[in-house]
Chain A
Amino acid sequence: MSTRLTPARPGPAAHHTPRPTGRLRATALGTVLAAVLVPSLSACGDGSGTASGGTATLKWASSYFPAHWDPVVSGSGAQFRELSLVYASLTRTDAKGNAVPDLAKSWDYNSRGDQITFHLRPGLKFSDGTPVDATAVKDAVVRAQKQKNSALFGDLTSIKSVDAEGLDAVVHLTQVDYQIPQLLGERVLQIASPKAAASPAKLDQNPVGAGPFIVTQLVPGTKVVLKKNPDYWDAKNIHIDHVELASAPDASTVVSGLQTGVYNFADIAPSQADAAKKAGLDVFVQPGFNASNISLNINKAPFDNDKVVDAVRHAVNRQEFVDKLTFGYGEATDQPFPKGYVAYDPKSADAYPYDPAKSKKLLAEAGYKSGDIKLDLVIPAEDPQAEIVQSQLAKVGITVTIKIDKNWATPFFAKDLTFSVYGTTGRDSALQTLTAHFGPNGPLNLSSPYEPSGFEAAVAKVRETPLDSPDYTQVLQAATRAGLKSRALVFTYSSPNLFAKSKSVSGLPKNPAHIDWTGVTVSGSD
């Protein structure tokens, strides 16, 4: 849809515009289009020809293409999945979400639990030739803590310092914390070459890591081309030769792209799942920790009244979110963890069931008549989720006005908003998920410095419990239970990590929230 400022024939003088010019323009336009389209179309043909030529190429369209390739700046959001093509980390997670060796072949805690030593694999190099040693680990931690534009410093508060002793990275902690191996995985500590990271701005455009792939071309915001890294420690289990990672076009075009072979792997919107299946693609849900919530600020009216908070809790019909937004692929949740995960607390399940009558009664008890409460729901962009919240609260007599604020992040993270919605993709350390949501300074706790009573003690106990202790599950679930007492968050639903792939790409390891290419093959038959 193009608009023009000036009319083709603005006034009386212009009515002599002769038709032949129009015809000439049309011809010229046709010629230009032909000149542009023919080579690009034949290029498409060439592309698919190369794909069937024997090299295994992954053509990945991502709707959350990374804006930054310096892992310290990119942070621990969903983009870590793309960055992990380039960067390896000390640990990674397995199908159960437990930390397993990556660049570190093993690790051990001291007897007090306030120091952990990671033993790195010998003989590894970053793709620029710099050795992978404890100095690189130390550099990564220091950068994450000190670099001005670091998005990770809040995740590393347990780390006091790192001593580099050859291949042993000795991490000194500020407190007893057995979560560190979970923490220092792909999400929080992807390790870049210290030589390349000497100039963080350069690294942001030219990522250098010791991961499974090496970047050969990077067009910021658009496309990245990578080739297999033969020196990756697990290179024998990487069967993909090339990766072309592209920023995804709009939702429906992604499916067409997959169908025509422009891509062979992409995340898709739930609304596109049917179309993708009909197109003969594999549609699958990768397990994960996605959880959406309604964030309340209990430091501001009307949420400073517990009864109003409880009214909102009972007004939420989670199933409606699942049905309308996830097309049945997601699930209702009242916790930031999926059912069956170690941190999921079965005792807290359905603590505030959908009960609009009770909600209305609570509002009446709080002294509010229907329509008395008028709230602004501030969100960063158009989001059907907000419209559902609005309609559900309208049913109990709370009037919600949706306000889109492009600068939403500033007031949200400054805890200035009263009412918002948020969705997390989770963390590898369950404890980190808990503190981010319920801790006094948790970024997702809109009611800072509020924290539910008993949460601090429960969290400390989790930190002090080794992950292999028989009590760990119980202690962790107790912390979840304590956190869920928070009046600042009402969890609603878990949106699915929905992907579609061509049948030529084999199944992915089911590591929760990760996209791991270990063992995956691309047959190149399409």
Chain B
Amino acid sequence: MVRRVLSLASGRIAVGVLVLVALLALFGPLLAPHNPLGTGDDTLAGVSGTHWLGTDYLGRDVLSRLLSGSRISVLGSLEVAVTALVVGVVPGILSVQLGRVFEWITLRLADTLVALPFLLFAVAVVALLGNGITQAMLVTGVLVSPLFYRVARAATLSVTRSPYVEAAVVSGASTGWIVRRHVWAKVLPPIAVALAQTIGVGFVIVSSLTFLGIGVQPPAPTWGGLLASDLGYLAQRPWAPLTPALLITVTVWACNLLADAIRDVSGEAGRALVNDRRARANRAGGRGPRADRPGNADPVTSGGV
């Protein structure tokens, strides 16, 4: 699947951007030219050789703060996605396999979670449990999990009703064996799509929460926090919000692009794509014929944010 994703131009771009963001998260704090918390007398300075992106309201180097802030944003969004994955997928698959009572309960639970506005809920939980990105993201992950629940359940349903699974049941195969042997492989691709997309959603949530000053204790830098503080000083540095906003946008865009690329090459859609002669021509010959494939012409637009 990785090879197939990378065979698409959009997939390569998405992976490239996300690898770059991952590197920022890993090595950003080490690359920071200044102490991201070190205040100075030169406040709200413009771009200069010493401060490539200027300084903030307390005279701290903005580039260093952006670099150091990437780790929290990346970890936070991963936390949302992984929590949602873990909480959503297993009940999603089991809801089809474990009988009506379990199905009914999990469906109602999923409906309840969908009904809760997760940003507000995260704010409430932070107020209750104390200000921390971990608890905020865990809760958000749980609230986003119905997406995985639904996707996993839909995929499982389609597999369960297929003749070969019925044949397996007739042959006396256990539920666990069926899930492991038949369901899991079919469920994985749509979950991979949902995961990539949820990481993007996670980024927006982390950025929104930190923008509101929720989840991190100052003076710890975050992309959303930098964006928020820059907005208060538009008169002095009108261009300042561009950098964090661009970083957030590009990362979320890359996640959505990756989600689209995975979708394009996997499952039923992937098979259709592979069998599609025009698609083959497209991969071999560049962009020309793509325009007449409405479904795949603009994968960017499928973003959930």
A-side residues, CB < 8 A to B, are: 1-19, 22, 250-252, 255, 269, 271-272, 274-275, 278, 323-324, 381-384, 386-388, 390-391, 401-407
Of B7-15, B17-25, B145-153, B165-173, the stretch lying at the interface with chain A is B145-153
Of B45-53, B96-104, B229-237, the stretch lying at the interface with chain A is B229-237
Determine whether the beta carbon of B43 is less than 8 Å from that of A323.
yes
Decide: A402 near B218, CB < 8 A? Known: A250-B231, A271-B233, A388-B39.
yes
Determine whether the beta carbon of A406 is less than 8 Å from that of B127.
yes
Determine whether the beta carbon of A3 is less than 8 Å from that of B119.
yes
Q: Is residue B63 contacting chain A, with contact meaning CB distance below 8 A?
A: no
Question: When chains A and B are docked, how far (Å) is the Cα of A382 from the Cα of B217?
Answer: 8
Quote the shortest CB–CB distance from A394 to chain B (angstroms): 9
- Which residues on A sit within 8 Å (CB–CB) of B268? 12-13
Q: Is residue B194 contacting chain A, with contact meaning CB distance below 8 A?
A: yes
Query: Which positions 166-197 of chain B face chain A at CB distance < 8 Å?
Result: 189-190, 193-194, 197
Query: Which single member of B127, B213, B305 contacts A407 (CB below 8 Å)?
Result: B127
The B contact surface, by secondary structure, is helix
Decide: A12 near B295, CB < 8 A? Known: A3-B205, A252-B232, A406-B127.
no
Determine whether the beta carbon of B232 is less than 8 Å from that of A271.
yes
Which residue on chain B has the smallest CB distance to residue A251? B232
Q: Is residue B159 contacting chain A, with contact meaning CB distance below 8 A?
A: no
Determine whether the beta carbon of B235 is less than 8 Å from that of A275.
yes
* Chain B interface category by residue count: 35 or more
Q: Is residue B33 contacting chain A, with contact meaning CB distance below 8 A?
A: no
Contact with A along B282-305 (1 / 0, CB 8 A): 000000000000111110011111
Question: When chains A and B are docked, how far (Å) is the Cα of A499 from the Cα of B179?
Answer: 67
Contact with A along B50-84 (1 / 0, CB 8 A): 00000001110000000000000000000000000
Query: Which positions 241-287 of chain B face chain A at CB distance < 8 Å?
Result: 259, 263-264, 266-270
Determine whether the beta carbon of A1 is less than 8 Å from that of B208.
yes
Q: Is residue B114 contacting chain A, with contact meaning CB distance below 8 A?
A: yes
Question: When chains A and B are docked, how far (Å) is the Cα of A275 from the Cα of B44?
Answer: 14
The 29 sampled A-B contact pairs (Cβ below 8 Å) are A2-B305, A3-B118, A3-B204, A3-B304, A4-B305, A5-B144, A7-B147, A7-B259, A7-B304, A8-B304, A9-B263, A9-B302, A12-B190, A12-B269, A15-B295, A18-B295, A252-B231, A269-B232, A271-B235, A272-B235, A275-B235, A324-B43, A324-B57, A382-B213, A384-B58, A401-B217, A402-B218, A403-B217, A406-B127
Determine whether the beta carbon of B57 is less than 8 Å from that of A271.
yes
- Which residues on B sit within 8 Å (CB–CB) of A272? 235
**B155, B193, B218 — which one has the most chain A CB atoms within 10 A of its CB?**
B218
Quote the shortest CB–CB distance from B200 to chain A (angstroms): 9
Query: Which single member of A5, A269, A274 contacts B114 (CB below 8 Å)?
Result: A5
- Which residues on A sit within 8 Å (CB–CB) of B211? 1
Question: When chains A and B are docked, how far (Å) is the Cα of A12 from the Cα of B265?
Answer: 10
Determine whether the beta carbon of A18 is less than 8 Å from that of B294.
yes
Determine whether the beta carbon of B194 is less than 8 Å from that of A402.
no
- Which residues on A sit within 8 Å (CB–CB) of B259? 7
Determine whether the beta carbon of B58 is less than 8 Å from that of A12.
no
- Which residues on B sit within 8 Å (CB–CB) of A386? 218
Quote the shortest CB–CB distance from A408 to chain B (angstroms): 11
Determine whether the beta carbon of A1 is less than 8 Å from that of B219.
no
Determine whether the beta carbon of A3 is less than 8 Å from that of B208.
yes
Determine whether the beta carbon of A404 is less than 8 Å from that of B190.
no
Which residue on chain A has the smallest CB distance to residue B217? A402
Question: When chains A and B are docked, how far (Å) is the Cα of A496 from the Cα of B266?
Answer: 62
Decide: A391 near B208, CB < 8 A? Known: A12-B190, A271-B236.
no
Question: When chains A and B are docked, how far (Å) is the Cα of A4 from the Cα of B213?
Answer: 21
- Which residues on A sit within 8 Å (CB–CB) of B305? 2-4
Determine whether the beta carbon of B219 is less than 8 Å from that of A4.
no
- Which residues on A sit within 8 Å (CB–CB) of B294? 18-19
Question: When chains A and B are docked, how far (Å) is the Cα of A37 from the Cα of B155?
Answer: 43
Question: When chains A and B are docked, how far (Å) is the Cα of A402 from the Cα of B219?
Answer: 8
Query: Which single member of B59, B130, B204 contacts A324 (CB below 8 Å)?
Result: B59
- Which residues on B sit within 8 Å (CB–CB) of A387? 39, 58, 218-219
Q: Is residue B37 contacting chain A, with contact meaning CB distance below 8 A?
A: yes
Rank and list the top 6 A-B pairs by shortest CB-CB distance, nearest first: A275-B235, A11-B190, A7-B304, A382-B213, A12-B267, A9-B302
Q: Is residue B207 contacting chain A, with contact meaning CB distance below 8 A?
A: yes
Determine whether the beta carbon of B131 is less than 8 Å from that of A405.
yes
Determine whether the beta carbon of A5 is less than 8 Å from that of B147.
yes
Contact with A along B112-149 (1 / 0, CB 8 A): 00100011000000110011000000000001101100
Determine whether the beta carbon of B58 is less than 8 Å from that of A6.
no
Question: When chains A and B are docked, how far (Å) is the Cα of A390 from the Cα of B217?
Answer: 12
**A274, A324, A383, A403 — which one has the most chain B CB atoms within 10 A of its CB?**
A324
Determine whether the beta carbon of B232 is less than 8 Å from that of A390.
no
Determine whether the beta carbon of B201 is less than 8 Å from that of A404.
no
Question: Given A3-B204, A12-B268, A271-B235, 12 other A-B contacts at CB below 8 A?
Answer: A4-B304, A5-B304, A6-B147, A7-B302, A7-B303, A12-B193, A19-B297, A19-B298, A271-B57, A324-B43, A383-B218, A387-B39
